Each structure stands twice: as C-alpha cells, then as structure tokens.
C-alpha cells in the first residue's frame, strides 16, 4: 500500500514538473492560419502555443469591444453568410491559448476568428479565449479539457479570461463540449447557431447517439441561446456547479436531456421543444427562472432513462426496446404505457411536477403553478382510467370521470371563470328547450296576439287614425287615471298639499306609456280612411305600415317569451326547486334535472373560487 502511494506521488510530481517546464511558442493570428495553409499533411496539429494579437498583421481578426458586447447580448437567430476562406485539413489544437483582448491606438480591441469554413473535423483540447463568428464546421467539433489544464500557469504574459464563444456558426456534424474539471471559472457561449448531423454522425455510441453533448462543470457562465438543433439522436446537457446558466430562445427538433445541479442562477425561458424534454434539476432555488409555458405538455422527468436501465425488462418484456435509448419508438412506449401503467415511473413523474408546483407556489407564480397542477391531474386521470380498466368498480369509474369533468369544467379548479362560462352554456341550452314549450308565464301570449289582430281589423274598417282607435281601446284605463287626477284636484282643501304633489307623478307615470304609444302610432299613420276606399298605391303603403307594426309586435312577444324562458332557466339552475314549476310535460322533468346540474356545478365553482382566493 505504501509503495502505491509513493508511486502516485512520484507520478503527480513528474506531471507537475513537466507542466512547469513547458516552452510555449508564440504566433500571431495571421501566422497561425498561414501555418495551416502551408501544412502538407491532411492534419494540422499545434500544441503548447500562445496566439497573440499583432496589430500590424491581424487587422482582419480584430473587432471593437462594442461589437463583442453586441455578440454577447444579441438575441438574433442564425443568419447566412459568405465564407472568405476554406480549410481542408483536420485541425487539432492542444494547450493553445488565444489572446482575446488588446489595446490598439488607445482603443480596446478584441480578436475573433470569422468567415471560415472548416471542411474536416476540429478538435480543441485545453484551448481558451477563442471567439468564433460566421464559421461553418462541416464535420465533428469536439472541445474538451484534461487534468493538465488545471496546472497551466504560464499564461501570465497576456490577459487570461477563459472565454470561448461560438456565434452564428453552422455545426454540420454535431458539437461536443466536455469539461469535467474543478476550480476553473470559465465562460462559454454558443449563440445564434445551427447544429446539424448531415446524416453521417461519427458516433460509436449506439445507446446514446447525440448531435449535441455539453458536459460542463464548475464554470462561471454558460450561455446557450437562439440556437437551432436538428432532429437526430438526442441533445444532452449536463450542467454542474455553473454559477450562471442561460438557456433561452432555442429550438430543438430532437429530444433533450437536461441535468442541472447546484447552479446559483439558472434561466430556462422561451425555448421551443418539438420533442420531449427530460428534465432533472437537483436544486430548485430562488434563482431558478423556469418558463413552464415553453414545454407544451412535453416535459418529463429523467426517470425515462432509469426505467429502461432497471425496470423495463422486469415489467414490460413483451416490448423489445430499441438499442438506441432515446429512440422515438422507446419514448412513445414510455409515454403511452410505462408512464401510466408502471407505478414507479408514474410516481417519479408526479414527483418532478410536484416539486415544480411547490416552487411556483412558494414564489407566488400562480399562472405557472396552475399549469403544472393541470399536468399533474392529466396524468392522474390517465392512470385512473388504467386502474379502472384493470379493476372495474364504481369508485374507480367515478374517480376517472370526475377528473375528466373537472378538466373541462374548471381546468381542475384552477379557472373559476371557465366554470361560469360553462354554467351560462347550460342555462342557455335549457332556456332554448323551455322556449319551445308553453308555460304559465306565457298564458297571456295568445290573447295578446288575438287582441292585436282585432285592433288592426277595426283600423282597416274605419276612417279614424290608428292612434284614435288605440286611445279608444284604452278609454276605460285612461278614464280611471283621469278620475284619480280629478279626485285629487277636488280634494285640495281636504288633503295636505305635499300629498297631492306626491300623487301627481304617479298619474304622469301611469299615463306616460299610453301617451308615448299614441304619439308613435300617430307619427307612423301615413294614411287614414277605410281599406276598401284606398287606391292600389295607397293600399301598398297601408300594407307596409300594418306589416311593420305586426312585425314589431311579434318581435316583442318573442322577446318576452325568450326572457321568460331565460328567467325560468336561471331560476331552476340556481335553486334546486322553487315550488310549483310553471311548465308541463317533459320540460317539467328537465327542470328538475337542471336544478341538480346547477347545484353540482355551482358547488364546484364555489370550491374553485375559494381555492383560487386562498392561493
């Protein structure tokens, strides 16, 4: 045992001593690409070098600091561009440091590599402070760091910020960025880029083929935004101990596995996941910004992977899973079968959603909390159906159906306003049914219609105007009003003056409707005289006049009948019964059913409203 410890110490000392003795070669940006062009081999390798800014030769590699800030803060999508140089060599850089900043003519400047097409694979090992813009990588791009990177301390000649940025780049055959080291607070950005496969991904891993693989640990800042990822394999993100992780405005055509652990500030917003996102967030802290609307029912826990590793062969051996773990066939089986039928998978899924629900509730984000809760209840409804089909019972059937009803009626109690809308639909439906059947409230309808035709019959047979005939029919009523007025005037000595003054408005109000109707009829009465004495042209005008008045009367009658039906429906819906129901036949029994429906729906509405008020 002691010999092994001594051996490890000697090896560590030798590595450390070797790292201190590295002699770094220095080149300008122009010299670097000149060496690449002159390389006769198909592979260009460079190790232990510093690429410095030469103001005299590197003008095409220099941008202002303001331009760099625009790249970092920009939110634009990928834009097509013209390349100025094509490199047909495999590029392998190991332990190469790029100078990022310099001051030229008293102005801060930044070095950048742009408008280049790499036709063959690019491998960057222990490379830092390099900015790429408008680059086409036609083959695989791999960025990684080894243990030697932690021992490098010979970069003190230039400013060393550990910054790497890929902006508006086209990755034609995938991107693989792996950093599993500690204590190096680097910053990475992959923005406004497209990541494709070209159908020939060189990936020997048949279980987890990926087009995008980011494994990042102990970094200061990671920005993955405004990118597009093609539908091939899966995208994997393993983000550990990253102080600031921004993941926004990306579009993924493939499935995504996102693992986040111990991040101080994490933003996952405005992404578009066309397939499933399998999420595993270890710490739901106050600095997590998670836009739940971006998931659109395709957010699931990382238990998917664990299910196929440990549970599937034991429980669902009839389904032969694909070797490729995240294949569309495997995912479809998990979502439609295992997630519902397998209790372990079901509870793990509800556990993730439950944690998110509690997080949103804790920070008073009611909108997102309601969305998560609805997803939780949706899955519960699917499992309730499965349990009922396995063991039919009234309890199981009721649990399944009540969940379905609650989803439609009030979004599981999260939208009381929806309950009001559905209640209005029920009231209007029953009001329409009541409208088709007579009830005691409409008993005067037929008499009123017959009285109206008798009135117009008199008008067509006499010379007086229509308003005179109307007042004649109201003579008894008007006479009683006049008698009331005359009695008041004669008794002015016997009654207090204020009593007489207060009685006059009653008379005026009683006479108002008769006066207004008489004035309206007099205004519309364009022709007087008997019908048989009118000329053909006058008869046509008279026909129009009578037809218009009859139509107005009919519309008024229909309005009153509809209003009665609506009032009857509202009364029935809001009370389970109000004594004698003013309707006969089948609608009488429908009124009782509506009363029960109203009681049930209003109870649920009350519970939903109280729940939202308490939240």
> What secondary structure does DSSP assign to 39-97, as a single string?
--SSEEEEEEEEEE--TTT-GGGEEEHHHHHHHHH----------SEEE-SEEEEEEEE
Q: Are 53 and 102 in contact (CB under 8 A)?
A: yes
Q: 26 - beta bridge partners?
A: 50
Q: What is the pLDDT of residue 303?
A: 86
Q: Are 301 and 280 in contact (CB under 8 A)?
A: yes
Q: 188 - beta bridge partners?
A: 164, 222
Give the CA distances from residue 416 to residues 143, 394, 406, 615, in Å, rounded to whole numbers and listed in that order.
Answer: 52, 28, 11, 13
CA 376 to chain centre: 16
Q: Are 127 and 99 in contact (CB under 8 A)?
A: no
Distance CA 169, CA 81 (A): 10
Report the half-sphere exposure of 588 (CA within 13 A, side-chain side): 10
Q: What is the dihedral of CA 107, 108, 113, 115, to 10 degrees?
A: -50
Six token digits for residue 406: 């609650």
Distance CA 166, CA 134 (A): 9
Q: What is the pLDDT of residue 18?
A: 41
State whether residue 124 is helix, strand or coil: strand
| Average pLDDT for runs of 10 along the chain of length 615 | 40 41 84 93 92 91 86 86 93 90 86 94 90 93 76 48 85 84 73 84 67 85 93 88 90 92 86 92 80 89 83 72 85 89 89 91 88 91 92 89 84 79 83 76 63 73 73 68 69 66 67 73 71 75 77 79 79 64 60 65 66 59
Distance CA 452, CA 449 (A): 5
* Terminal CA-CA length for the chain: 62
Rounded to the nearest 5 degrees, what angle is found at the Cα of 319, between the Cα atoms of 314 and 323? Answer: 90
Q: Are 203 and 178 in contact (CB under 8 A)?
A: no
Q: 280 - beta bridge partners?
A: 259
Buried b vs exposed e over 366-395: b needs ≥16 C-beta within 10 Å? eebbbbbbbbbbebbbbbbbebbeeeeeee
Buried b vs exposed e over 238-263: b needs ≥16 C-beta within 10 Å? bbbebbbbbbbbbebbbbbbbbbeeb
Distance CA 543, CA 546 (A): 5
Give long-range contacts, CB 8 A cutoff, 24+ apart: 543-550.
546/456, 546/459, 546/460, 548/524, 549/456, 549/524, 550/452, 550/456
Give the CA distances from residue 85 to residues 117, 119, 267, in Å, rounded to whole numbers and listed in that order.
Answer: 6, 11, 37
Q: What is the pLDDT of residue 12?
A: 39
Neighbouring CB atoms inside 10 A of 524's CB total 13
Looking at residue 334, what DSSP letter applies?
I
- In the chain, count of helices (H) and strands (E)? 17, 28
């Amino acid at each position: 045992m002691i010999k092994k410890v001594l051996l490890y110490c000697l090896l560590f000392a030798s590595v450390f001593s070797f790292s201190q003795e590295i002699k770094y070669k220095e080149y300008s940006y122009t010299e670097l690409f000149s060496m690449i062009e002159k390389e006769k081999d198909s592979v260009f390798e460079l190790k232990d070098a510093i690429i410095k800014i030469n103001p005299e030769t590197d003008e095409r590699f220099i941008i202002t600091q303001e331009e760099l800030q625009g790249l970092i803060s920009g939110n634009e999508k990928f834009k097509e561009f013209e390349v100025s140089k094509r490199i047909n060599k495999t590029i392998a850089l190991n332990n190469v440091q790029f100078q990022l900043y310099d001051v030229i003519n008293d102005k801060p400047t930044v070095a950048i590599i742009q408008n280049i097409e790499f036709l063959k694979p690019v491998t960057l090992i222990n490379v830092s402070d390099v900015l790429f813009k408008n680059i086409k990588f036609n083959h695989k791009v791999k960025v990684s760091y080894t243990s030697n990177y932690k021992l490098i301390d010979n970069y003190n000649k230039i400013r060393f910020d550990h910054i790497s940025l890929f902006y508006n780049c086209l990755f034609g055959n995938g991107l693989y960025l792996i950093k599993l080291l500690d204590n190096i607070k680097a910053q990475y950005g992959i923005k406004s880029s497209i990541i494709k496969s070209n159908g020939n991904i060189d990936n020997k891993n048949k279980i987890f083929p990926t087009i995008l693989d980011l494994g990042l640990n102990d970094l200061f800042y990671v920005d993955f935004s405004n990118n597009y990822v093609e539908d091939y394999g899966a995208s994997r993100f393993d983000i550990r101990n990253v102080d600031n992780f921004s993941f926004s405005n990306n579009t993924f055509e493939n499935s995504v596995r996102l693992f986040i652990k111990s991040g101080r500030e994490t933003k996952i917003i405005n992404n578009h996941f066309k397939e499933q996102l399998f999420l595993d967030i270890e710490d739901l802290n106050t600095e997590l910004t998670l836009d739940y609307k971006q998931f659109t029912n395709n957010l699931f826990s990382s238990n998917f992977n664990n299910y196929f590793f440990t549970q599937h062969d034991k429980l669902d051996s009839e389904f032969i899973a694909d070797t490729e773990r995240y294949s569309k066939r495997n995912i479809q089986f998990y979502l439609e079968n295992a997630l519902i039928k397998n209790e372990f998978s079901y509870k793990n899924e509800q556990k993730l959603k439950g944690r998110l629900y509690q997080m949103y509730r804790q920070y008073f984000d009611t909108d997102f909390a309601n969305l998560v809760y609805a997803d939780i209840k949706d899955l519960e409804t699917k499992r309730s159906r499965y349990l009922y089909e396995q063991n039919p019972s009234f309890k199981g059937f009721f649990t399944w159906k009540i969940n379905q009803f609650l989803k439609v009626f009030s979004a599981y109690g999260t939208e009381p306003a929806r309950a009001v809308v559905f209640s209005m639909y029920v009231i209007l439906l029953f009001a329409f049914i009541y409208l088709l059947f007579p009830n005691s409230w409409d008993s005067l309808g037929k008499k009123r219609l017959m009285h109206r035709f008798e009135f117009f019959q008199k008008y067509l047979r006499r010379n007086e105007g229509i308003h005179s005939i109307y007042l004649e029919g109201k003579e008894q009523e008007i006479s009683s009003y006049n008698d009331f007025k005359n009695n008041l005037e004669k008794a002015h000595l016997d009654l207090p003056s204020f009593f007489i003054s207060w009685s006059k408005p009653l008379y005026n109000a009683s006479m108002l409707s008769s006066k207004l109707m008489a004035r309206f009829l007099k205004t519309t009465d364009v022709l007087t005289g008997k019908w048989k004495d009118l000329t053909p042209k006058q008869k046509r005008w008279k026909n129009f006049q009578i037809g218009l008045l009859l139509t107005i009367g009919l519309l008024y009658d229909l309005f009153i009948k509809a209003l009665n039906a609506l009032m009857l429906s509202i009364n029935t819906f809001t009370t389970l019964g109000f004594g004698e129901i003013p309707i006969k036949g089948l609608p009488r029994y429908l009124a009782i059913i509506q009363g029960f429906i109203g009681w049930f729906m209003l109870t649920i509405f009350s519970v939903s409203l109280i729940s939202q008020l308490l939240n």
